[in-house]
Amino acid sequence: MYDKIVIDGLSFGLPLFVMAIGGIYSERSGITNLALEGLQGAGAFVGALVAFFMMRSLGADSQLPYYAAMLFSMIGGMFYAMLHALLCIKFKADQRKAKDPKKTLLRLLGYMKQYIPNLLAVLVCIVISAIASTRGSENIGKLVDDFILPMVAAGSTDFAPLAKYLTGIGLIFAAGMIASFLQQYLMVSVTQGIQKRVRDEMFTRMQKLPLRYFDSNTAGNIMSRYTSDIDTLRQMVSQSIPQTASSVITLVVVGTRLLSTSWILCVVMAVT
């Protein structure tokens, strides 16, 4: 049973691991492709489709559909990647980017000044969530070592200490869930406020533009500034910035717990 679980885990996890390695090498080479996940998903869809039809004709016991799925997944991913490159490079598909990313980022952070109390509360919620997640995972190990295994070995039926400890773990996870909910709730008000302010400023600016601007730009291109571009900004404020802060804080909390547990193992893990 356990052998099958390990084999199935490796079988399902290996493609995801290869995809992640591909993304890392792509970004380390200086190429940041926002369509990378889409290309990987499209290739996986082609492989799954080929495996489905081959299994129907050859049967589920044959190994050929699995190898064919891997091959056609790579071929499908390469095809969609070349199509994406053709649209972007040859036909100059619309790929908007800031002329001065640093200046753009500083301007965006300027919009967030009036929401400093909300952002501080969000930071506190992120810290609580990270600590709750770390402590909860650590307490689960103690639950097995200090309560379940001794009770099984002694044949005890006194569940009062176990119930008390489980209640404590439940409260820790509940605190993390509440903190995560409050974080999302507070970020909604920040995101919507910034989004409204940017749209108002864009509309005011557009009222002062000459008529030749509207003659030289299509209506769809102008409207996409208010829709897709603002939605990208919303995703950055509501997801990218909080996730970056959460990752950094989680790394600090986990690193602190690792050092307090065994600094030698922590150093070995960091080196290897």
List the one residue out of 237, 232, 133 whose CA is nearest residue 180.
133
Per-residue pLDDT for 44 more than 70?
Answer: yes
Per-residue pLDDT for 225 more than 80?
Answer: no
Q: What is the pLDDT of residue 1?
A: 47
CA distances from residue 27 to 46, 72, 151, 159 in whole angstroms, order as listed: 24, 24, 50, 52
Q: What is the pLDDT of residue 2?
A: 47
Of all residues in the chain, the percent with pLDDT exceeding 90 is 3
| Contact between residue 108 and residue 233 where contact means Cβ atoms under 8 Å apart | yes
Q: What is the pLDDT of residue 23?
A: 61
Identify the weakest region by mean pLDDT among 17-31, 62-76, 216-230.
Answer: 17-31
| Contact between residue 111 and residue 198 where contact means Cβ atoms under 8 Å apart | yes
Per-residue pLDDT for 102 more than 80?
Answer: no
pLDDT band for position 34 (cuts 50, 70, 90): low
The mean pLDDT value for 109-123 works out to 87
Can you read off the two tokens belonging to residue 247?
């990752």
The pTM (predicted TM-score) of the whole model is: 0.59
Question: Which of the two residues, 180 and 15, has the higher pLDDT score?
Answer: 180
The mean pLDDT value for 265-269 works out to 73
| Contact between residue 112 and residue 231 where contact means Cβ atoms under 8 Å apart | no
Q: What is the pLDDT of residue 35?
A: 65
> How many angstroms separate the CA atoms of 220 and 212, rounded?
16
Per-residue pLDDT for 250 more than 70?
Answer: yes
Burial tier of 178 (Cβ tally within 10 Å: 0-12, 13-18, 19+):
middle
Per-residue pLDDT for 115 more than 50?
Answer: yes
- Tens of pLDDT, residues 131-157: 888 887 777 777 777 777 788 777 777
Per-residue pLDDT for 178 more than 90?
Answer: yes
